[in-house]
Amino acid sequence: QPPVRGLRATPRWRSAMPSWVIDRYGRNDVLRFTRDMVFPTIHFPNEVIIKVHAASLNPIDLSMRSGYGATALNMKRDPLKLKSVDTEFPLTLGRDVSGVVMECGLSVSYFKPGDEVWAAIPPWKQGTLSEFVVASGNEVSFKPKRLSHTEAASLPYVGLTAWSAVNQVGGLNQSNCSGKRVLILGASGGVGTFAVQLVKAWGAHVTAVCSHDASTLMKKLGADDVIDYKSGNLEEQLKTLPLFDFILDNVGGSTEKWALDLLKKWSGATYVTLVTPFLINMDKLGVADGMLQTGVTVGSKTVKHLFKGVHYRWAFFTPSGPSLDEIAELVDSGKIQPVIDQVFSFAEVPKAFLKMEGGHARGKTVIDVISKK
């Protein structure tokens, strides 16, 4: 008989589920498949449990597998040191999910069991390389109708990272982007392919920097100029172009030393980098010193560049259901499409990690979780 409304519909016998976990940080051999991962439970009234249909990998999964940012993330996982078990393991990686709502906390009003949703789960929570995952209602959004689960899973994390950089930190939006000159460094990765389409949808002129074999893809996504960073000196090539209003840097490193000179001075032009030393500083220096050091770096860089007439900003991924709603609208109106490099089965998760580690993917590495037969 059907469950009575209002009662919890989770079968009581479900206490474990299949999942890919790590028990320590390290290389790819730390990934372990288990059928005995603890089934997620709703602890807060605003949470939902999602049955994962598809997930995808992002560079942060490689970093987390290796232990990057563990200090900061553990502080966020258990700020008051309440847990009796003093460890984050077994830890499930994977940030993106597209799937179906199974169960809702008492205060969840937007979603009901059976809804098709997508989300990016923040890195301090258990991840999505699992049969089920728990998320806060405010991190979840209805999946775009025109995408399959595998396609949808490729977008939330990179989409929200690009959205945070371009819109929340960079201040660009639909109404102020028209005709602006935008430069995207590292344009063929997950965040890059999304950012190119986003600012293009808002009417910007886009210059994409990537390697030569990605140039066809860049043109297809709408880039106006494509620069191959391998064909000669990148700095010289870019200096021949008119100055830019906005630069998004997915690459970091030495690029920063000269890239800011490509911005129009004293016009509100902004340089946003996604390569932030925050987590790494906390690992190296401990929590308090790490935060202090990061504050000093950001502060001094920002001030230094303000004197030169440009804005220097840092951006990072922020989980947000409302932003995903806006992204879903762009997807359903055909302005943004997923760019998928390869789809792996649930059994092939280690293979997918190796693929990512090899670098130079064009777009995203996706895991089809549901067809795990």
Compare 329 and 251 and report the one with higher pLDDT.
329
Q: CA 7, CA 300: separation in Å to the nearest integer?
A: 56
Q: Answer yes or no: is pLDDT of 289 > 90.
A: no
Domains 16-155+338-368 and 170-314 are alike in CATH topology: no
Domain ranges of the chain: 16-155+338-368, 170-314
What is the CATH number that goes with domain 16-155+338-368?
A: 3.90.180.10
User: Does domain 170-314 match CATH 3.90.1150.10?
Assistant: no
Question: What is the pLDDT, as a whole number, of residue 81?
Answer: 76
Cα(first)–Cα(last) distance of the chain, in Å? Answer: 28
Q: Confirm if 232 and 204 have CB atoms less than 8 A apart.
A: no
Q: Which of 172, 169, 204 is nearest to 276 (CA)?
A: 169
Question: What is the pLDDT, as a whole number, of residue 276?
Answer: 78
Mean pLDDT of 194-206: 98
Question: What is the pLDDT, as a whole number, of residue 372?
Answer: 53
Q: CA 134, CA 177: separation in Å to the nearest integer?
A: 36
- Choice among 150-154, 210-214, 255-259, 280-284 with the minimum mean pLDDT: 280-284
- Choice among 53-62, 135-144, 183-192, 352-361 with the minimum mean pLDDT: 352-361
Question: What is the pLDDT, as a whole number, of residue 279?
Answer: 67
Mean pLDDT of 318-327: 97
Question: What is the pLDDT, as a whole number, of residue 11?
Answer: 53
